[in-house]
Amino acid sequence: MWRVYAALIVASLLWGSLYTAAKPAVEATGPMQVTLCRVTLAFLCLAPIAFARGGANAMLTPLKSHWRAILLLGVLNFAGSQILALNALVFLPASVNSVLNNTHPLWVAIGTTLLYSARRPALLLGGSLVALAGVFVIFAPDLLRSTSAEPISPVGVALSLAGSGVIAIGTVLGRRIMPGNDPMAVTALGSGAAVLPVLALTLASGGVQPIVEADGQIKALLVYVGVGCTAINYALWYYGLKHMPAAGASAFQYLIPPIGVFLAAIFLGEPITVSLLLGTVCILVGLFATQAAMYSVRTKRSFD
């Protein structure tokens, strides 16, 4: 069992390091260029793994039955959410973006409990308000004006939260596709479906020349973001889900925001302000509360 916990912890570390690694790459090449590297490298890594695990049928079966949903998943999760989140990095510190963009379990929990009637609506409402208060604390200019080295832009906050919302929609869509299919194959197909539209947008936003001309350190970061923060962490995450109920595995996602905050402080020198810490704690408390409400909904459906 220790291997399962280790896999989930490492996956959370990789996800938490995403925006710390992506920030310098975005500044050097551009958000669309980083998005292109991420989806392309993820597909090139995950497709062979999925093929080795289940052969051609692992890729063909979900395509035959859910090709429209997979295409939409690629446009939402692997293109739309990443474009929004990486563009948010232009306006936000990596630490703030890591906290805000990982609020997607909150939106999934709220949507689920509204659809299936929570047994504890007060817990849902209270948790949602606490989490949203955390967003406000991080964003409020009056609280951060004298303590943050990098201003908190309303545009960046809107982009980051919008990306989080798109991830939530993609999560719901993914739950409809995954039963009976290899999650690794679905993820590979989704990332592959995003390559062409992201490439088109990249060509319209400076092309691939910034990637080619980037120095060795930036190229290493691009590889790390695509392979480490996408392909490897998805592989570890699905390994964990194979041996642990989703509810238990989801608890490890709460490690991501604080990991992102502290890695940004260590590697990028971003300040850990009182407002950032307080906002992060509020968001985590809100996520815990709304997740508790989600897993006590009045429904005959089973939530692992």
Least confidently predicted of 106-115, 167-176, 225-234, 243-252: 243-252
- Tokens 């004298």: give the residue: 146
What pTM was computed for the model? 0.79
- CA–CA distance, 4 with 205 (Å, rounded to integer): 41
Look over the chain and give the mean of its residue pLDDT values, rounded to a whole number.
81
Q: Where residue 121 falls among pLDDT bands split at 50, 70, 90?
A: low
Higher pLDDT, 182 or 14: 14
CB atoms within 10 A of CB 242: 11
Instruction: Encode pLDDT of 207-264 as tens digits.
Output: 999 999 999 999 999 999 999 998 888 778 777 766 766 555 666 777 788 888 889 9
Confidence of residue 38 (pLDDT cuts 50, 70, 90): very high
Residue 65 — very low, low, confident or very high, per pLDDT cuts 50/70/90? Answer: confident
> Would the pLDDT of 19 be above 80?
yes
Q: What is the largest CA-CA distance in the chain?
A: 58
Residue 302 is assigned to a structural domain of this protein: no
| Position 237 in a domain | yes
Torsion angle in degrees (nearest 10) through CA of 153, 155, 157, 161 = -170
Print the domain residue range for 8. 2-294
* Residue 220 domain-assigned (yes or no): yes
Our count of domains for the chain comes to: 1
CA distance 86 to 94: 10
304, part of any domain: no
Dist CA 159 CA 269 (whole Å): 23
Q: How many CA atoms lie within 13 A of 197 on its CB side?
A: 17
- Closest by CA to 21, choosing from 41, 43, 44, is 41
Query: Does 112 fall in a domain?
Result: yes
Q: Dihedral sign, CA of 267, 273, 274, 280?
A: negative
Residue at 211: amino acid letter: I
Determine which helix (DSSP H) or strand (DSSP E) holds 60, and give its type and residue range. Answer: helix 31-73
Please name the residues in contact with 6: beta carbons below 8 A apart, sequence gap of 6 or more: none
Q: Is 72 in contact with 260 (CB distance < 8 Å)?
A: no
Residue 155: inside a domain: yes
Residue 13 lies in a domain: yes
% of the chain with per-residue pLDDT over 70: 78
pLDDT of residue 304: 42
Cβ atoms within 10 Å of 136's Cβ, excluding its own: 13
Q: Which carries the bigger pLDDT value, residue 147 or residue 273?
A: 273
Q: How far apart are CA 48 and CA 153, in angstroms?
A: 40
Give the model's confidence band at 201: pLDDT under 50 very low, under 70 low, under 90 confident, else very high: very high
**Dist CA 260 CA 124 (whole Å):** 26
Residue 147 pLDDT greater than 80, yes or no: no
Separation CA 240–CA 246 (nearest Å): 9
Q: What is the DSSP string of 247-272?
A: HHHHGGGGGHHHHHHHHHHHHH----
Evaluate whether residue 300 is within a structural domain: no
What's the rounded Cα separation, in Å, for the pair 132 and 33?
A: 31
Range with the largest mean pLDDT of 49-53, 105-109, 221-225, 250-254: 221-225
